[in-house]
Structure 1
Amino acid sequence: MAILQLHRIQHYLCAVVLVFHLQFSSHMFPSLGYNVPDKYFINCGSDSSVTVSDKVYVGESNPVARFSRSETESNESHVPSPLYQTARIFRRESSYQFRIDRNGTYLVRLHFFSFSSPSNLYSARFNVSVPGFWLVQNFDARNDTDNNFAPVKEFFMQISTPIFRITFRPLPSSFAFVNAIELFLLPLYLIADEVGLFTHGNSAHLSSYNGLHARVLETKHRLNVGGLMANDNLFRKWFPDDSYLTYPETANTSYPFSGQIEYRVADDSDGPNATKFTAPSAVYGTAKKINNISANTSTNTIDWNLLNITWGLPAERNTVHLLRFHFCDYWSRHSGLTFFNLAIYDNHVIEINNDPNVSRQFAAPYYYDLLVHSDDSGQIMVSVVPDAYGPKPDAFLNGLEIMKVIESSNSVPPMIELDSGHNLLRVMLGSVFGVLVLIFVVVLLGLLWCLKLRKEKKLENSVWLPMLVPAGETSHNRLTEGTSQGSTLPYINLGLKIPLLDLQLATNNFHESQIIGKGSFGNVYKGVLQNGMIVAVKRGEPGSGEGLPEFHTEIMVLSQIRHKQLVSLIGYCDESFEMILVYEYMEKGTLRDHLYDTNLPKLSWKQRLEICIGAANGLHYLHKGAAGGIIHRDIKSTNILLDENHVAKVADFGLSRTGPLDHQSYVTTVVKGTFGYLDPEYFRSQQLTEKSDVYSFGVVLLEVLCARAVIDPSLPREQINLAEWGMLCKNKGILQDIVDPSIKGQINQNSLRKFVETVEKCLQDDVCDRPTMGGVLWDLEYALQLQKGANAIHKVQPEDSSTSASASLQLSNVRHFPSISTLAERDNMSIVKSDELDGASDSVFSLLKIDDTR
């Protein structure tokens, strides 16, 4: 079943792709067969053509490869290949330009052989890029020994533009060079877009990943297991595997196949079946097998845990790699007898046998692709392990390829357009004048944009982001979509962008076992990034158009502010219509999780005070410390998070707004928030102020004191709304009766008096009567000192020691909050009801409660 599942991963789109291919093959592909194209094979730095492995590499003076002159180096002494007798040298940024006739997957090979020359190629240091990707970074000919593939670097990439450029960028005080370039179209299905994704570790599992074509692959290893060095039809080299075996004594080199490997499918077919372009018969006709297992060997005498073949291959640490495993059982008398396990880092991946999807005939070659994230050991460990209970205990491998997955990068500079001409290949040398013009244009555009932003700020009353175009745009990047006025969103901090693949790996491909919270916006997952950081990953429902303004606003707010009492934004992802926010991980979850309907230990009164103080400190910074002032607009107990030490941090800034301008005391805006915490004055007038946050925080304080939901429809009518019920109990002198029983015996009465006084001031109906968040912070700190007693400050005597504790808690009347029926009648107001909120009570983050207008 595991093999069938992996094949489904690779082929469930096969039928759709086949129909598309047949429909358009007459236009895109003149014939169904594939032949290696004649272009482009360039002998750089030379006017002459050379032939290597029956392939002609044209000189740069060839009519189809003319270009403007630059420096060359030559070497007449003996070198490994005629390709390495000359080199093209670049003292400044330069590019090769190619005309692309057909879209598809291309192979790019760059040859760097530092022969002896006047320029001392051995000292070259440079970068190489293609649009959107760094192919080579910090290349240093002195120490770049890229195992067997030096001096060749090989890449696979999708190209869908009519003009393609490979750019060489010398590092300071150095230069770049290249001996030869190969660029040609590959067979249609050589590299699949959807592959298996294997996650190793304690929760090892196999899933699918779609989107490999959006990356670049760099070949790191290509091994002919059990065989000698070999070449294939795509001019790739296959190297022996012996030097990578960890325990050579467990492996037996199988005798080479004396017959002919029969590829069962056409060259342009998709699937696990191999074609002559997947790997050559020299690879499928040799193998390594488990040693010392014969038909007469008793399985009872074998230590199966020690019997395996393991290869350890050097790899970049903590990096995603594509592994391709090649199999062909050519020695068994009958197909389908050999069953064995494939393991990576000692974790079982799949069981190998002749899959029904592969021809069950003798000597049928097939392969598997897997994405794997390397660990920090600097090696990828691959094993084949016999199945002790199979019909024929054995294990083998014919070939292995490992390719590094290269992510796109925003740091790749854009290329200046080359002059049009009749040449298919050009070398463009950098121009000081061109650079100066570019700088001038950038500065001018920057000034114009600043003026535009200043004007928009006045016109739009400090709205964080302009409205986006309606759902349905074809762009795959939500943060660079146009606005309804045709402008773009320049505010987003692109330095925080995290590739989708990294987040899939961090969360085991968003596996359900990693979910730590759920809500209407989507799920929250616990994840571990490549650098080892534990994070919380909030993922909107894939493909949903809801929550875009909140998504942008959250990034805007948290990318510009930092405070120890505000949850930090680690990054975001908007690839493939995703809306994903990545935060620092808060070990203890939400404040709400620790108050009621929970199995977690109860918080002490002192802990609750400290948590409230921390949250108040964060809100005070938002109101007064952040530039321009920020109103949170959705303060509630699920938006106050706790770290491993119960330190509070405010989260979820999707509804935040900049504060009022100097000449105004409020911001007029559509009412948004969560029912039960919403400021009644803001609800009536739609005038948002900092005091709206103060009211909401007052409800949180009452929630902390009483440990019950702010809206509980199961209670009698007068008790449903906590703010109303709390004030009613205070006026009746029975507030003590609704205090959380678990803390009643802990509370110092003076501390309680000050705390309730603070609640009263926060919940005043008139915003002018409410304190600032700074005043709330001061009152809460005072209540904490009163709780600590005489050791912290001089003991304060009760104002009226003759009255009971309950009487001392009496508060002035607070106007009732609008009823649910009243709210339902109001237009243009989006409010989240508390019962909806409770559905997300297990979330470590308060997921956005969004409908069309929230």
Structure 2
Amino acid sequence: MARIQNHKPQSFLPFLLFLLQLSSLLLPSSSYNLPDKYFINCGSDANITLPPRVFTGDLGSSNSGSFTFTKESSSPVKEDDNSTATQPLYQTARLFRKESFYGFQIDSNGTYLVRLHFFAFSSSPTNLSTAVFDVWASGLPLLRNFTVQNNSNSPVIKEFFLTIGIGEFQVIFSPQRATFSFVNAIEVFLAPESFIPPATTYVSLDRSNGTDYEGILSKALHTIHRINVGGSIVSPDQDTLGRNWIPDDRYLYNPDTARNSSMFAGQLSYLQGESRDIAPDYVYKTAKVMNIDKSGPSGRDVFINMTWSFNVNKDVRHFVRVHFCDFFSISLSFLQFNLYIYANFSSEINPYERVSKIAAPFHIDFVVDSDQSGLMNISIGPPQGSTSINSTSFLNGLEIMEIIGESDSQDNTSKHSKVNVPLVVGSVVGGLGALCILAVVVWLRLKFKRPKAVETVDWTAMPVYRGGSSQDRTLEGSIMASPVPNLNLELRISLAEIEAATNNFDLKMKIGRGGFGIVYKGTLENGTKVAVKRGEPGSGQGLPEFQTEILVLSKIRHRHLVSLIGYCDEKSEMILVYEFMENGTLRDHLYKSALPPLSWKQRLEICIGAANGLHYLHRGAAGGFIHRDVKSTNILLDENYVAKVADFGLSRLGGPDQTHVSTGVKGTFGYLDPDYFRTQLLTEKSDVYSFGVVLLEVLCARPALDTSLPPEQVNLAEWALFCKQKATLDEIVDPSIKSQIDPNSMRKFVETAEKCLQECGTDRCTMSDVLWDLEYSLQLQNTATRRETHEDSSSVINDASAAFVLPNARRLPSLDMTATDGDDMPTLSEDSAYTLDSEVFSQLKIEDAR
């Protein structure tokens, strides 16, 4: 009876506690302490400390009841060579021969961080790099057809954020293709409260932006990129969540647009509701700041956007988090700039509408659709037309996470409820019945839907990078081989014949490796020498590129385009077979190799051949194609040094009847048309620009981008045109050919390159014009009269009015099309993945072949 009398006053207690909890949200979030579970050292009885975590060996006797794993089908394995420099955590692993799991008892609802560590060492008789497997958790496919290649001797770490409810949480490993699965270490621990929001701003491809994307907590988030903008590496021991942050320089499109700020030495001012654990202080104390160009017209400042480009998977959604902290302003003032995602979304950033202090961190979240380009561009810049110094823009950090499906089974929903204010209140007031009922109601409303599988991308713990180099950027994914529809079946070659040609893919036959896989030299039954490009799981090139290459090359024949011998799509294979190019790539013979230098006449003939191939590609076949990745590694040389253009995986239909093709930007930095990059409108003049860069490579024998040089010399196109303007171009010409070049021949060659490199595409010449000009330059070289010894190539630049020696030159007619089969080319509906210099297949004789 007394309990009944006291019921009414006590019922007010939960409400008071709720108000108290709500008021705490108005204060800076309290410091987060990393939980002590779960951190598992798999296949070992040793405990290993990697601050801030202590990994417990799964063979330890004290672990009974804390977590479980399938023992019947598993076995611990250990690296054979204990004398290596491999970290102790990666010297052991647990291997599973059939579908198995690790199970973890979860005692608190919330968002959990799940990390899986993989390092493929050799353990007799098993080589872990041969494993192919899936990983599932909460009904979600975290990894599909996953394999590990530790080429850099660094572990591969796959990181996910999942909402997990009270009960047993299982991570399931499922071997594929009659192999096995393995894992070296596992982390499962509770993230800070409200770390992932239930909804945020949605950025869609159809420009219907501004709405919220809901249900994030019912998905898994897979970390793809985590960037410390303007700073250095932030290692796991410097982050309360054990995360790794890498510098942004390798992703910055134009380094001249940005500068690193000095490290902030003061105290950060965290404001109400902003968690101190969203990102470490190291991220907020560094930034990239807009580099204002003081050399604009009439001495006015010029403001250019800072743009970062990131490889992402195609046609999936991503959770994007951007971090800001203005620690460099002298005082509170008006500061406004824009954040751009792709070219179809902008968000106004007004720091002091969000925070009221200097050096106050804040972050903004988005859900972003990716297109078929495999590339996500994010820019920071001033409002349109701004001329105020207050338009300075900045960025401190950036995270991109791929969103993986929804729950695959209604049975799994009992383990994965969402976290929100009612659940937080429930944790404060304990077992009060009313709040428990409320939590159940919320749980029922937030039940999960069915998922769809999404391919994943590796996130390495400490990736090797070279600042500013586009060659290090690779798109990682999984090849999903399948029979290719509507292709020329006459070109299909059996897997058995290819295996015979390459001695069963003997590594002794390997002539290159790149993003798609290994390239082998082979000999077919009829004695034809071939280059065999074999796709492999997790390579970063997939079915669309495979189809595009076959569709283009099976319909065109030209002396200056590389020939496709055949293809194979049996079982899980995707293999392309090309004619073997005995002398490798043009770049092989220009720089960074021990090969003898080409003569000036050879270089002219090679450029003419490549221009022939590109002109035919643009105008010679019905519809015409735009190559989209013209560069010196995509120009191959046969045994007679005849040039052939290669690698058509990025090609798009877009002939003379089309003014442009709207498409995501793809290509290789250093060769990329700036007009195309700005507008995302692709024309054949984009190929012309890239070819202009190749012409300068031929003349100067140096890379299109060389970050080892002073900043003004990094970009070859910009530096060469500057030298021409200053009449010093002869100083950067390849010394091995300088004495061979006729001045008039060089003048015409340089003028041709300059016409190719005009800023605006409409001002550039066509490939037909380029071809004629190069033929003219060769004729000038062949018919040059003897000159006095003091007349050398330097006079070409220094005396702009020097007279030409004009032989009997005539404008060339259209190319002879007898080399083609006459068929129309197909329309390509699939866009191709973004590829980089280190991934290109055409490097048939070097280790960077694609």
TM-score bracket, normalised by the shorter chain, equals: 0.3 to 0.5
Question: Computing the radius of gyration over CA atoms, which structure comes out larger, 1 or 2?
Answer: 1
Q: Which has the higher contact order (CA 8 A, sep 6+)?
A: 2
